[in-house]
Amino acid sequence: MGNSHHVDGRAPVHGFYSSSSWIEGAAVRQLEMVADLDGVRAVAGLPDLHPGKFGPVGCAILADHIHPGFVGSDAGCGMALYQLDLASRRIRVDKAADRLRDVAKPYDGDIAGELAAHELAPSDLDASLGTIGGGNHFCELQAVEQVFDETAGIDRDRAFLLVHSGSRGLGHALLERHVADGLKPLAPDSAEGQSYLVAHDHALRWARLNRDVIARRAASALRCEADPVCECSHNCVVHRSEGVLHRKGAAPSDQGLVVVPGSRGALSYLVAPLATAPKEALWSIAHGAGRKFDRSSMIGRVGATRSDRERLARNPFGGRVICEDRALLAEEAPEAYKPIAGVIADLESFGLARVVASFRPLVTVKKIAVERRHKEDRR
């Protein structure tokens, strides 16, 4: 059932992580603070748990009301995995990296047409459609490391594409509108609650389209086709008969296969959530490795020298990491994250999921430097 504890007057807190999961005390205290809020019914901490803003990341929260802060500033942020009609053995990493670099540039396609085709109303923030964004977002070309379930349809000879991105400016604007007068819960049937949900649902659909456009851009660069394997959101509100479920850096366990990525220097895992998982996990599993060190503490810890930056531009599997922002390269170094093997082991030992396949990173695209204008444009 997990490591559960219940304090009188506080919702139960269920922890699905072992003593070796590197769970900070600050994150546990945040879980307990959330459980102490009026109307919160239960809280589940997952093995990627770490401190965050407005509550810990790597948790699920069941409540009576909508809490925009629990969703955060990137509603709809999530993962999408695609199988490519491209043999992984034919990939030349450096050549693929050169082709995929353009995915980090602004999308120059028909944004209005994409929105219309998916029945999404236009907004002032649509120029970022088809772009990865900053932070821990990425587009990654992968090869199969191992298949554990041959019935899942994973072709070990094919290349795969994993896209991690969200709603970009839409999610940020949504949260800003609802925290301008301070964080407060919203009744689901109130005018304010309904207004939030309409914008929230739009952001989730926009984020899903964003991941799909990124995948199509990457597949086009590699001259292949991409077929979706699975897709989900990590930051969202879900209405259930039991209450309002918030996932704050947590993947759903009731929507089929889920990708749980490691750092950009580690394996990613495709897992099948178990129908027999304890209900205390609140229909959720871990969404990734989870941070071991916060961003600010990574500055100066790694990436200070040229040789160290060159090391970070390669992964232990001989793959490439395209990130031309020195600060971001340090913040997102593999050392900043927990070992993914431990997170996966906890998911298995607590009966939350079983492993279907693992993937190694070949090329990770994050951010490129802003290109200078041509000389003739600067005269």
Q: What is the 3-state secondary structure (H, E, C) of the chain?
A: CCEEECCCCCCCEEECCCCCCCCCHHHHHHHHHHHCCCCEEEEEEEEEEECCCCCCEEEEEEECCECHHHHCCCCCCEEEEEEEEEEHHHCCHHHHHHHHHHHHCCCCCCHHHHHHHCCCCCCCCHHHCCCCCCCCCEEEEEEEEEECCHHHCCCCCEEEEEEEECCCHHHHHHHHHHHCCCCCCECCCCHHHHHHHHHHHHHHHHHHHHHHHHHHHHHHHCCCCEEEEEEEECEEEEEECCEEEEEECEEECCCCCEEECCCCCCCEEEEEECCCCCHHHCCEEECCCCECCCHHHHECCECCCHHHHHHHCECCCCCEEEECCHHHHHHCCHHHECCHHHHHHHHHHCCCEEEEEEEEEEEEEEECCCCCCCHHHHC
**Residues acting as catalytic residues:** 287
Distance CA 19, CA 248 (A): 22
Residue found under tokens 């992580």: 17
**Burial (CB count <10 Å: 0-12, 13-18, 19+), residue 136:** buried
Distances (CA, A) of 306 to 177, 228, 324, 335, 364: 42, 38, 13, 17, 20
Q: Quick one: which of 312, 315, 294 has its CA closest to 303?
A: 312
Alpha-carbon torsion (339, 309, 219, 145), positive or negative:
negative
